[in-house]
Structure 1
C-alpha cells in the first residue's frame, strides 16, 4: 500500500496483514538509476520491526502448516494470478527503481508469477517415505515437515523474481515467511503486500519488511524465532549470514556470486555462440549472477568469434530503459558503476586491450544516471581481477585457448562455481564437462536461462542449497522420522 507525498510515492512494510511504517518513523530514499531523481521512500526498519514481523509469522505458523497442502497451493495460485493481472504496473516500478529495460521487466513479472505457481501446482506431489523395520509389526515413516518461520533475503538485480522464487516453495511446503528485499530496489516487492492480501494469504503468513542489513537483517538472521534463512546475493554477504546463523545452527540456503566461464571449442557453432554470448552477457545490463564473465575461445575460431562478437555488441543500444529499442539500461547505482570502471581500468593497466567501449558514454542523455558502455577486452590473463572477481556489468574479457584441457583448467581455476557455458558438437567433450566442470549449472550450446522444473544451485563459493523444481522444494522441508509399532 502506498501514499504520495510531494510527488514521491511512499510504500509501507506489510506485517501481519497490515501496512506499517517503521517504529522509528525513518525512511529510505529510492532513486532512479536513469536520472538519479528520488522516486520513492520506504520504511527504514530496525530490530524492533524485524521482531514484530517474526512474531507475526510465528503466530501464523501452526494454522498455515496444518492446512492441507492443496489448499495452500490454491491460495498461492490466486496470488500468482494477481501478479500477472498487475503485470504492467509491476514492470514499470521495476524499470523505475532498478533500471532494467521494460521488456525484461515484463519478463521478470511473468517469471515471478511462475515461481509462485509452479510449486503451488506441485502441492499434491509432496511426499515422504515408508521404510521396512527390522522389528515385527512396525513401520518406519519419514515425514517431510516445514521448518517454520523462514526469512527470505533477495538481491537487487531481480528483486521481484528472487523474492517469489523463495515465497512459492516456502509457503507451499507449509512454512511462513518474512521477506526482506534489498534497500536499493525494494519497491516492487513491497507492492506484493496488497496482492497477498487480495489473494487471501492469512495474516502473518507472508510479511515484507525493509531496512538495513546490519540492523534489521542481522535480527532476522539471528533471532531464535527464525528456523531457516534463504538468501540470494553476494558471496561476502552470504558468508556473513552463514557466520551469524551458525550461532543458533539455523538452517541456511545461499545462492551467491558467480564467475561463469564461456568456452567455445574449435568445432563449436560460432554464430550460435556469438548470439548466446550477446544475449547472456548483456541481459539486465550484465547484472546477472549466471552471465558469462570470462571467455575462453579456441585458437581455431578465436578471430572469427571476436570479429562477429564485436560487431554484434557494437550494435547494442544504450538508453532509456522504457524505450522499446533499448538493449542496455543504466547500472543500478553509482557505487556499482564506479566498481565496474575501476575493474576495467585495472585490467588495462595490467595489459588488457580495449577492443570496444571501456568507458562511460558521453552526451546529453548520459549526464545523469549510472551508465557504462558495453566493453570487450582482449589479451587478458587468468590472474587479472576482471577474470577472477565477479563483474556485475557489460564487460567481456576474452582469452585464447589451444585445447579443451586448457579451457577446463582455466574455467575451474576459480573460487566460484555457479554457471558455465560450453559450445561444442562433440558429445564426448560434453560428457567430460558433466564430470569435470566444477559448476552447478552448465549451459551447452545455448544461452543462459534456467527453467522452473530444473535445479539452480552453486558449487564452491557460489552457495549452498539451491532453488527450483522438486529439489528446490526439498530445501524448505526437514525430516521427521516416526517408528510406529502396532504389535
Structure 2
C-alpha cells in the first residue's frame, strides 16, 4: 500500500495541502510505493527562509559542537542501516547488498566531515606595513542547496550534507523526484539526532520547478549539484543572474585503457565491476574500453564470459544486477545501442531489454557488449549509463591516450599496465579529474572527486571538498 510522504521544513513535517502529488515507483515491479508532494516555488521559499533564519545561530555554535551533532546523525544512520538500505533498493532498484554499501558510504561521508570540525583553519600573512597583520579566515557561505541524482540518493545527500553542516552552513535538500524517500528518511534521523530546526530542510518535487526556484532564489548562497550535464547547464544558467556559487558533479564517459603488458585477469575483473555495478548507473563507470590489439581477443573472451555470468533479478535477493531506475532511462540506453549498431558497431553479446517471465514488469536490461572500429561511434561518444560495454582496439599507448582524450567529458579514466613509465605519465597525459591506475573505481573519502570539462566544477571529498563549503575573508589588522 503506498504511503504519503511530507516535506521537512523548519523541523516540522509539512503536509501536502493543495500541492499535487507525485508517485514513487519501485523499478523492479512498477508498483507505487509512496506519494510525495509535487512542490512549487513557494515550498522552496519556505525551506530557504527557514534555513536562512537558522544559519546565524548554527554558524555561531563552536564547530566541535556542530560536529558532535553530525556524529549523532551518523550514529542514527548506522542504527537504521538495514531499513535505509531496503528503502534505497525499493526506490532505486539496486541490489540490497549494494544498497547496504551505499548506506555505509553515507555514514563514512558524515563521519569524515566530523573529523574536519577542528580543522577549519586560516592564515596570518606578513604585511608590507608596520604594525599590521593580514588575517585570512574561513567562513560558511550561509544557505547551501543540495540537488542530488537518482543513482545514489542517500550517499550523495550525506556526502554534501555532512561537510556543509560542519562548516557552519544550513542546508536545503532536493532529491531527484524518482528517489526522494531516503533523503526524507535522513531528515527524520537528523531530527532524532538533535540537529536544530531549520538547519536541515528537505523539499520534494521536480527539478525544473522546485530546483530552479531554489537555485534562482537570492536566499541561497551556494548550490551543489550531482546529475546530468544537461541539468548542470540549466543550473549554471539559472544561478548566473545573482553570480551564484555553483558546484557541479556531472556526467562522464570514462575510458578504460588495457595495454599489452597488463594483468588481464585483474583488468577484466575491474572492467566488469566498473561497468555493471548499480546497473552501470555510475558517473565514473567504465564506458569505453581501449584494448591493445595483442590482448584484445583474450580480454574480450573473459569479459564476455563474466558478463554472461552476472545474475539479474529481484534486487532484494542475491543478484548482481537489478533494473534500470525507470522505463525512460531504460529506453535511452536501448536507443543509444540501436544507434551504435546502425553506425557500424558489432554485437559481441546481445543483451538488451528483458520483458518476459519474471521480467514482465520492471525496467530490465541484460548486459550488452559492443565492438566499434571508430572513435566517433555513438557508443563511444555518448554517456550510456547502463549495462552496455563498448570495446575499441588500439595499436599502442599513444593511440589509446589520444582516443581517451577525444571527448568533452573529463571525470574519470582507467589504465592497466605494468609499465611504470606509462603509469607515471598518465596523470600528465590523461585529461581527467580522477584516475584509476591498475584498479577499479570507487573513490576514497579522503581523496578529491572532481571532474574537468563537461564533467563539472568544484568537487567533493577530502580537505579540498570540505574547503569548498567555506569562503575566505581577508582582514588587514593595523594596531599602529
Distance 1:212 1:342 in 2: 25
Output the CA distance in 2 between the equivalents of 1:427 and 1:254: 33
Residue number in structure 2 paired with 1:3: none
Give the TM-score of the pair, scaled to structure 1: 0.97
Q: How does 1:465-476 map to 2 (within 5 A)?
A: 465-476=458-469
Q: Which residue of 1 aligns with 2:172?
A: 178
Give, in whole Å, the separation in 2 of the partners of 1:235 and 1:214. 14
Superposition deviation, residue 13 in structure 1: 1.0
2: CA distance, partners of 1:483 / 1:57? 31
In 2, the alpha carbon distance for the partners of 1:328 and 1:376 equals: 15
State the distance in 1 between where 2:209 and 2:427 align.
42
**Number of paired residues?**
480
Q: Which runs of 5+ in 1 are unaligned?
A: 1-6
Query: Who is 2:343 aligned against?
Result: 350
CA distance in 1, matches of 2:174, 2:372: 42
Aligned partners of 2:223 and 2:19: how far apart in 1? 27
Tell me how far 1:126 sits from its aligned partner: 1.3
1:370 paired residue number: 363
Q: Which SS does the other structure have where 1:117 is aligned? A: helix
Q: Does the C-alpha gap of structure 1 residues 184 and 151 become closer, same or farther in structure 2, counting only changes over 3 Å?
A: same
Question: Is 2:422 the counterpart of 1:442?
Answer: no
- 3-state secondary structure, aligned to 1:332: coil
Partner of 2:410: 417
Matched position secondary structure for 2:460: coil
* Native 8 Å contact 1:24 1:45 kept in 2: no
TM-score, scaled relative to structure 2: 0.99
In the other structure, the counterpart of 1:288 is 282
Contact 1:22 1:46 in 2 (8 A): no
Match of 1:100 in 2: 94
Q: How far apart are the structure 2 equivalents of 1:402 and 1:251?
A: 44
Does the CA contact (< 8 Å) of 1:344 and 1:358 recur in 2?
Answer: no
SS at match of 1:122: helix
Match of 2:67 in 1: 73
The match for 2:382 is 389
Q: Deviations over 1:240-269 (max 9, x none)?
A: 100110110010000000000000011111
* 1:362 shift after superposition: 4.8
Secondary structure of the structure 1 residue equivalent to 2:246? strand
Residue in 2 aligned with 1:39? 33
The Cα of 1:380 is off from its aligned counterpart by 4.0
After TM superposition, list the pairs within 5 Å mapping 1:43-442 onto structure 2: 43-324=37-318, 326-442=319-435
Deviation at 1:22, TM superposition (A): 3.6
C-alpha displacement of 1:432: 1.2
Residue in 2 that maps onto 1:459: 452
Shift of 1:384: 1.2
Query: Runs of at least 4 residues of structure 1 off by over 4 A?
Result: none
Secondary structure of 1:191's aligned partner: helix
Residue 300 of structure 1 deviates from its aligned partner by: 1.2
Q: CA RMSD in A?
A: 0.9
1:379 is displaced (CA, Å) by: 3.1
Q: Can you list the C-alpha shifts for 1:108-152, whole angstroms capped at 9, x where unaligned? A: 001011111101122101111110111111111000100001100
